[in-house]
Homo-oligomer: A and B are copies of this chain.
Amino acid sequence: MAKKNKDDYSIADALRVPSGPVRVEDFDPDSAPDYPGEGKADAPAQMADLAPELSDLQERLYAAGRDNPRSRRLLLLLQGLDTSGKGGVIRHAVGMVDPQGIDLTAFKVPTAEERSHHYLWRIRRALPGPGMIGIFDRSHYEDVLVVRVDELAPLDEIPKRFDEINRFEAELADQGVTLIKCFLNVSRDEQKDRLLERLENPEKHWKYNPGDVDVRKKWSAYMDAYSDVLTHCNTEHAPWFVIPADKKWYRNWAVARLMVEHLRAMDLQWPEADFDVDTEIARVQTS
């Protein structure tokens, strides 16, 4: 395959969930849409190709945020079942970005304090500041996923929460937050292989939790819950992207590329000097 020009395709178009009812099963976890290289072998080179532009764009975003509390920000939201690779994406794709521009939050089982508030309370507190790239490892979607599957709230709450989440995300868009919502779509077979890999390698035992198998047994309930999320919370201002996640190298590249495309679309300019440049040059030279 000939190497594509970096500007003649949009991974966002390729991975965006179409509007209307969808099912997770409609998406192929093992595909690699719009990948510009050959495959796994050249994935490090493809990632390296994205790095300078991602770095430049992130620095422009950061610079713009320094003196402007109303400036743009990016929020990458990662959802997916165990072993789908939320951690891998953070390590390999987010890891390409200057740590000073990253604001990472991993949402765990809510604490007692968090449970005493509305479920969006802890989310609002973790929103990225001006110029920052926020990363959500899990998110408010847990409140319509695990909460629904394990019936941690009355089930008739779920459709209300979909509406509430859509309003919340519209509000974020209004405030200058560009949201990239990624569902990392791993297949049931691949999940099994990855769990076994963790068990067979003593250096990976710490990543394994017996509870992962209990969750795995609820696979079809999770597919139903994710299908409803992808159907009901897939809006114009905050669309979902389904990232094929059986190929780790594609998954990482696709998320990095999504960040590049969304940052490009912001048309970020370097801030202008709020001082007289020649005066300052003279001051430094005589100092």
Q: Given A206-B66, A270-B203, is A284 in contact with B192 using a C-beta cutoff of 8 Å?
A: yes
Answer whether residue A167 sits at the interface, using C-beta atoms and an 8 A cutoff. Answer: no
Return the CB mask of A1-44 against B: 1 if under 8 Å, else 0.
Answer: 00000000000000000000000000000000000000000000
Which residues of A from 190 to 231 have beta carbons under 8 Å from B? 192, 195-196, 199-200, 202-203, 205-208, 210, 213, 216-217
User: Interface segment, A86-94, A115-123, A151-159?
Assistant: A86-94
Q: Which of B66, B205, B284 contacts A270 (CB 8 A)?
A: B205
Which residues of A from 114 to 161 have beta carbons under 8 Å from B? 135, 137
Q: A213 to chain B: which residues have CB within 8 Å? A: 280, 283-284, 287
Which residues of A from 36 to 89 have beta carbons under 8 Å from B? 63, 66-67, 87
User: Interface segment, A98-106, A177-185, A234-242?
Assistant: A98-106
CB distance from A213 to the nearest CB of B (A): 5
Q: Which of B67, B98, B208, B270 contacts A91 (CB 8 A)?
A: B98
Answer whether residue A112 sits at the interface, using C-beta atoms and an 8 A cutoff. Answer: no
Residue of B nearest to A206 (CB): B63
Report the bound CA distance from A199 to B282 in whole Å: 10
Q: Which of B106, B196, B284 contacts A100 (CB 8 A)?
A: B106
Q: Which of B97, B192, B270, B281 contacts A200 (CB 8 A)?
A: B281
Main secondary structure of the interface of A (DSSP, over half): helix
Report the bound CA distance from A195 to B104 in whole Å: 31
Answer whether residue A176 sits at the interface, using C-beta atoms and an 8 A cutoff. Answer: no
Q: A66 to chain B: which residues have CB within 8 Å? A: 206
Q: Which of B199, B202, B287 contacts A280 (CB 8 A)?
A: B199
CB distance from A84 to the nearest CB of B (A): 15
Q: A272 to chain B: which residues have CB within 8 Å? A: 205
Q: A280 to chain B: which residues have CB within 8 Å? A: 199, 208, 210, 213
Max chain B Cβ within 10 angstroms of own Cβ: one of A87, A210, A272: A210
Return the CB mask of A273-286 against B: 1 if under 8 Å, else 0.
Answer: 10101001101110
CB distance from A35 to the nearest CB of B (A): 24
* Cross-chain pairs A/B with CB under 8 angstroms, 8 sampled: A91-B98, A94-B99, A99-B135, A196-B281, A199-B280, A202-B270, A202-B273, A217-B287
